[in-house]
């Protein structure tokens, strides 16, 4: 399982985009086994909290399956 750290910049349904500190964007789909709901993603985007995403490759998709999202408790650049 891989790991990426960054902030959520886009969220729609169970899909979200994570931009890491190097500015690289990656599309994730929240896995059915993750302990999070799609409804929580827009709040992550709004707060711009740094998160760590543990992921697996999604079969036949150019996206990653987010298995676990951990809040790092550190506000991003544009946090209110």
> Which stretches of the chain bind another protein, using CB under 8 A?
6-7, 9-10, 12-17, 19-23, 25, 27, 29-32, 37-39, 45-46, 48, 58-63, 65, 74, 76-78
**52, β-bridge pairs:** 5, 70
Tokens matching residue 26: 């990656």
C-beta of 29 vs 70, nearer to another protein: 29
Q: Give the nearest distance from C-beta 61 to another protein in angstroms.
A: 5
Check: CB of residue 28 under 8 Å from CB of residue 78.
no
Q: Give the nearest distance from C-beta 8 to another protein in angstroms.
A: 8
């Amino acid at each position: 399982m891989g790991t990426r750290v960054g902030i959520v910049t886009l969220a729609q349904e169970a899909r979200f985009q994570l931009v890491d500190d190097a500015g690289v964007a990656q599309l994730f789909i929240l896995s059915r086994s993750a302990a999070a709901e799609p409804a929580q993603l827009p709040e992550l985007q709004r707060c711009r909290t740094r998160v760590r995403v543990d992921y697996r490759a999604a079969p036949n998709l150019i996206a990653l399956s987010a298995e676990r999202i951990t809040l790092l408790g550190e506000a991003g650049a544009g946090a209110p």
